[in-house]
Amino acid sequence: MYSVTVRDHMMIAHSFKGDVFGPAQRLHGATYVVDAEFRRPALDADGIVIDIGRAGDVLKRVLGALNFQNLDEVPAFAGQNTTTEFLARTIFDRMVAAIHAGELGPGATGVEHIKITLHESHVASAGFDGRVTGTP
């Protein structure tokens, strides 16, 4: 399987509900380094996995919608603990939607898997890895 990874970052604020979260139940900030890895079994006609420039631009746009937001105030996330794992899936879904919308170029239709990893620090990260399914 071939792969290409692009990276960006975002800063958010949020709080969690539930005793398991301890002090993180209070409003706090997080800065994430975000990797988006695109995988496919064969290269496209141009010999690439995906257009790296477009992939980076789309990741920046997807993260831009979350950057500097208090996620507790985002209506789409109402009642949801916006954990790192949850955010990884959210970013995955938005990247898949961008592929289906053609935002990553025609060659991106051959991408079979995307893995999103959010690095909370130099010692902790969480992610979501899934198949790109459905039709554009």
Question: What would the mean pLDDT of 108-129 be, rounded to a whole number?
Answer: 96
Mean pLDDT of 16-32: 95
Q: How many domains does the chain have?
A: 1
Average predicted confidence (pLDDT) for the chain: 95
Residue 115 sits in a domain whose CATH number is 3.30.479.10
> Residue 116: pLDDT above 70?
yes
pLDDT digit string (tens) for 62-87?
999 999 999 999 999 999 999 999 99
Predicted confidence (pLDDT) at residue 46 exceeds the cutoff of 70:
yes
Q: Collapsing DSSP states into helix, strand and coil, what is residue 42?
A: coil
With respect to residue 54, please indicate whether it lies within any of the assigned structural domains.
no
Examine residue 113 and state whether it is found in any structural domain, yes or no.
Answer: yes
* Domain that residue 83 falls in: 2-33+59-131
Residue 52, in any domain of the structure: no
Classify the C-alpha dihedral 74-81-96-7 as positive or negative.
positive
Tokens of 42: 């064969």
Q: Which pTM was predicted?
A: 0.94
| Strand extents, DSSP E, 1-136 | 2-14, 28-40, 69-70, 113-119, 125-131
Q: Is 6 part of any domain?
A: yes
- Give dist(CA 32, CA 12) in Å, integer: 8
Q: Please say if the pLDDT value at position 119 is more than 60.
A: yes
Of all helices (H) and strands (E), which one includes residue 85? helix 84-100
Q: Are 47 and 107 in contact (CB under 8 A)?
A: no
Which residues share a beta bridge with 12?
A: 30, 69
Within a domain: residue 17? yes
Residue 48 CB-density burial (10 A; 0-12 exposed, 13-18 middle, 19+ buried)? middle
